[in-house]
Amino acid sequence: MKNLIKVERARQNMTQAELADRVKVSRQTINSIESGKFIPSTLLAFKIATVLQVAVDVIFQLEDSDW
């Protein structure tokens, strides 16, 4: 799964720590999601999208290899 969290965070001048604090996870969790090492739960994905004010399907995109 591809994600654009880093791009959206940068657009809003938000650090990993700030995003993590707002969605109630560790900075390391955000880092792991951004680097593709961890796929968030549906609830966490929606929280991240809400904080970044972007639709969840814009932030998280399925790739052909995910099927």
Q: What is the extent of the structural domain holding 7?
A: 2-66
Q: What is the pLDDT of residues 11-28, one digit of tens each?
A: 999 999 999 999 999 999
Give the type of residue at 7.
V
Which domain CATH number covers 53? 1.10.260.40
- Which whole-number Å values give the CA distances from 12 to 6, 15, 16, 25, 63, in the listed order? 10, 9, 11, 19, 25
* Chain-centre distance for alpha carbon 31: 9
pLDDT band at 59 (very low <50, low <70, confident <90, very high): very high
pLDDT surpasses 90 at 65: no
User: DSSP class of residue 25?
Assistant: S
At 61 the three-state DSSP class reads strand
Q: Does this model's pTM top 0.95? A: no
Domain total of the chain: 1
